Structure 1
Amino acid sequence: MTDSIFILFVLCLNVIICEWLTKKPGFRQIGTALLVILVTAVEANLGVIPTIETPVYEGIFSYIAPFSLFLLLLSVNLKDLRRAGLPMLTMFLIGSTGTIIGVLVSVWVFSAPQTVGSLFYALAGMFTGTYIGGSINFHAVALHYSVSKAGNLFIAATAADNIMTALWMIVTLTLPVFLQRRFPRQRLIASEDQSAASAENLFSDSETMTPNDLAILLSLGFGAIFISKQLATWFPVFPFVLILTTIALGLAQFRVINTLRGSRLLGLFGIYIFLAVIGAYCDIGALIRDGQLAFVLFGMILLLVLIHALLVFGIGALFRQDWDILGIASQANIGGGTSALALARSLNRPDLQLPAVLVGTLGNAIGTYLGILVAELLR
């Protein structure tokens, strides 16, 4: 079925199904993002919707995806970073450096040009972005290099990334506790300053918005995309995604825009639709035949994360830092602000919940820039 309205109906229905599934035992850990890729891939391979490019798919890649990335970046107000504290910020930046070193080493060790293929440099940029910032940066770099349209490669990378993120949550849950018992450190317990409530609000998917809120967000988003495309045409040296990211971050520094209601809600929904289209491009038969690719990518990710961890925990140990801060800073790199918030809560450190979210937003701010920088160095 190639009717555009029918395709949009199926894509939206898939988001509903996957959101419902994530509330069921066994699916909660998978998450909506990966589920929506898998469900749509099955439907496309069964012939329910097309597996080839259509006007709907092209429109989602050209407008919905960048629009959603723009909206999600509006929550990144860099003025708030001073509330994260110097130790957390320092260890987060050290972790970011470790990620870049790890990516470069893993590309060399696994001979990525031969084992991954011609898009190895883009995958390296995606891994840099996601293990400094998060999935926003992963998708932004993938969109820039059109990895999103290489369905099998993208899904293999996403699967390996999800496995690593889950494993690293287990590591950062247990390692700080173990190290505190073996090598006690003084815990820098800061004032909570309503950090738990503030952190929760930053990552709430439930928002109340008015027609005026929606109109403002649509105007800002489509206006920013238009300006970014024009500037990218006039100055080809600057990628469209980086221009759009810069405009979003510039606007996010104004509190009246940073606090607009509905930006996260619309942004997340748009990303899910974008991921559904990626699933539609997936050839499941070819993915099974090329299953070894996922193992290669997971090996690269495992090595880069180990190098990242050695740098964070090694330097942190040398300067006798709070083990909880090291674990949360590392999780903010590897899993993003949401998982860092969950880790702070699990470690019973409400004073570190807001700092965890704030360094996560810093990662969102710099991840795409550094991801594209690494990709261009390797290209």
Structure 2
Amino acid sequence: MTLIKPDDAWSLWAVLIGWAAVSILLEQKYDWAAKISGAVIALFGALILANLNIIPTESPVYDAVWSYVVPVAIPLLLFKANIRKIWTESGRMILAFWPAALGTCVGAFVATVLLKNVIPELGKIGGIMTASYIGGGVNFVAMTAVFKPQESLLNATIVSDNLVMAAFFLLYMYIPTLKYFQKNFKILYPDGGIATINTEAETKAAAYWGRKEISLKDIATAMAVGVAVAAISKKLSILLGAVMPGGNFLFDMLKIMVSNQYFLITTITVTLVTIFSDFFENINGAQELGTFLIYIFFVVIGVPASIKEIILKSPALLLFCVIMAFFNLIFSLYGNKFLNISLEESLLASNATIGGPTTAAAMAISRGWSNHIIPALLCGIWGYVTGNYFGLFMGNWLIRILGQ
């Protein structure tokens, strides 16, 4: 018995969209909210509303978010994923990306082996967090829609993930000040970069973070392309799933990949963006639209959450995320040291994979590493492109190993 009934679609959409907007407003206006993250605010707000019996825990509206809102959000967030631009303008950051991504995969395997008897459905969580710790929140959402673990596990994972990211962002900022790293790693900014924040950095930051001029044509074009890509990917996934052969590990994995809607969404969008780069470069607002849709998803996954289950399951999942982030950082530092890549680039690559392009750019700005702001952004966007592929492979491989 809830105040808003499961079939009261208008009221439920008002709650979902309204609380997503509140979460974004709080995150952008208050430091405490930014530290918690809008995703966690969205989740816990929905959790409270559900536990107070204001909104139901199940509804066709929630199913619509999973089935339609998320598939449209992903292509919108990939409109800047021009592979040619990433490879030509990211410099050595694109090379620094690969050891960090490899570290995430190794960390997922190690953490799964160590905690397989402690956490249920760990293969699914491993796939989701592999995608997340290579691309960020965009890939987390996509792989959540693919693997669909228990809600209690998923919500505890989100809480643990945000705690680990916050801790590691502080660690990224602290490492350049340590004498060991200053002495044993290639350094581009001997003073740590703090004193070199200049007009160039502020201008680049303003260009990315500032208000954008968005027209009705931009919104119409972005939504039309996003919905079309999602629709084509869905139809094509069904077709390829029916005709692709299986029978062994290689063919089974290939069939799983090409018959997955999110694999196809990523592939089709990135291909279109790379080929028709001028067209997509002139569409403003796609990232904002996609991000807002993702926040609606974060509200939905908080609805069936249990505070008790989150508290009970978060410690083990916190350890799982720590192990993955630790391997990411170690591989990034020492793998890139072997490749003669600087400490600053290694840390930005690890940051870009763990948190996405925005956090990596924010770190470059705050440290005064002005020449690496745009490369850090592009490195994070490359994570958007590749994260779903890694997540799909690792998730299905871990599930097969665990027999889940």
Q: Which amino acid aligns with 2:113?
A: W
Partner of 1:44: 50
Percent same amino acid at aligned positions? 25
Residue 61 of structure 1: how far off its partner (Å): 0.9
**Distance in 1 (alpha carbons) for counterparts of 2:50 and 2:368:** 44
Partner of 1:135: 137
Computed over aligned residues only, the root mean square deviation of the Cα atoms, in angstroms, reads 2.1
Q: Which amino acid aligns with 2:130?
A: T
Q: Which amino acid aligns with 1:159?
A: V
Given candidates 59, 67, 72, the residue that maps to 1:67 is 72
| TM-score normalised by the chain length of structure 2 | 0.85
Q: Trace 1:48-59 onto structure 2 (pairs within 5 A).
A: 48-52=54-58, 54-59=59-64
Partner of 1:161: 161
Could you list the per-position Cα deviations for residues 69-122 of structure 1 after superposition, in whole angstroms to 9, with x for gaps in the alignment?
110011211112221113x222211111111111101100112xx3221x2111
Partner of 1:26: 32
Partner of 1:377: 397
CA distance 1:194–1:247, shift in 2 (3 Å): farther
Partner of 2:188: 187
Residue 56 of structure 1: how far off its partner (Å): 1.1
**Structure 2 residue 226 is matched with structure 1 residue 224:** no
Partner of 1:83: 89
**Distance in 2 (alpha carbons) for counterparts of 1:348 and 1:193:** 10
Residue 284 of structure 1: how far off its partner (Å): 3.0
Residue 315 of structure 1: how far off its partner (Å): 2.8
CA distance 1:170–1:187, shift in 2 (3 Å): same
Gap runs ≥5 in structure 1? none
Partner of 1:115: 118
Could you list the per-position Cα deviations for residues 139-181 of structure 1 after superposition, in whole angstroms to 9, with x for gaps in the alignment?
111111123xx32211110111101111111111111232454
Q: Is the 8 A contact 1:329 1:356 kept in 2?
A: yes
* Partner-residue secondary structure (3-state), 1:50: coil
Partner of 1:144: 146
Residue 252 of structure 1: how far off its partner (Å): 1.8
CA distance 1:199–1:233, shift in 2 (3 Å): farther
**Distance in 2 (alpha carbons) for counterparts of 1:175 and 1:280:** 38
Gap runs ≥5 in structure 2? 191-197, 242-254, 400-404
CA distance 1:176–1:213, shift in 2 (3 Å): same
Given candidates 252, 258, 267, the residue that maps to 2:273 is 252
Given candidates 274, 294, 305, the residue that maps to 1:271 is 294
CA distance 1:25–1:362, shift in 2 (3 Å): closer
Residue 137 of structure 1: how far off its partner (Å): 0.6
**Distance in 1 (alpha carbons) for counterparts of 2:189 and 2:83:** 23
Q: Is the 8 A contact 2:128 2:147 kept in 1?
A: no
* Structure 1 residue ranges, 4+ long, deviating more than 3 angstroms after superposition: 179-186, 192-204, 316-321
CA distance 1:320–1:231, shift in 2 (3 Å): closer
Partner of 2:371: 351
**Distance in 2 (alpha carbons) for counterparts of 1:161 and 1:207:** 30
Residue 319 of structure 1: how far off its partner (Å): 4.8
**Distance in 2 (alpha carbons) for counterparts of 1:195 and 1:313:** 25
Q: Is the 8 A contact 1:196 1:353 kept in 2?
A: no
| TM-score normalised by the chain length of structure 1 | 0.91
**Distance in 1 (alpha carbons) for counterparts of 2:233 and 2:339:** 43
**Distance in 1 (alpha carbons) for counterparts of 2:209 and 2:267:** 22
CA distance 1:228–1:318, shift in 2 (3 Å): closer
**Distance in 2 (alpha carbons) for counterparts of 1:152 and 1:340:** 30
**Distance in 2 (alpha carbons) for counterparts of 1:198 and 1:219:** 30
Q: Name the count of aligned residue pairs.
A: 366
Q: Is the 8 A contact 1:196 1:354 kept in 2?
A: no
CA distance 1:331–1:348, shift in 2 (3 Å): same
CA distance 1:370–1:200, shift in 2 (3 Å): farther
Partner of 1:174: 174
Given candidates 293, 296, 301, the residue that maps to 2:321 is 301
Could you list the per-position Cα deviations for residues 161-209 of structure 1 after superposition, in whole angstroms to 9, with x for gaps in the alignment?
10111111111111123245434635289xx9967645654455x4332
Q: Which amino acid aligns with 2:350?
A: S
**Structure 2 residue 238 is matched with structure 1 residue 233:** yes
CA distance 1:370–1:85, shift in 2 (3 Å): same
**Distance in 2 (alpha carbons) for counterparts of 1:134 and 1:167:** 16
Given candidates 20, 27, 31, the residue that maps to 1:15 is 20
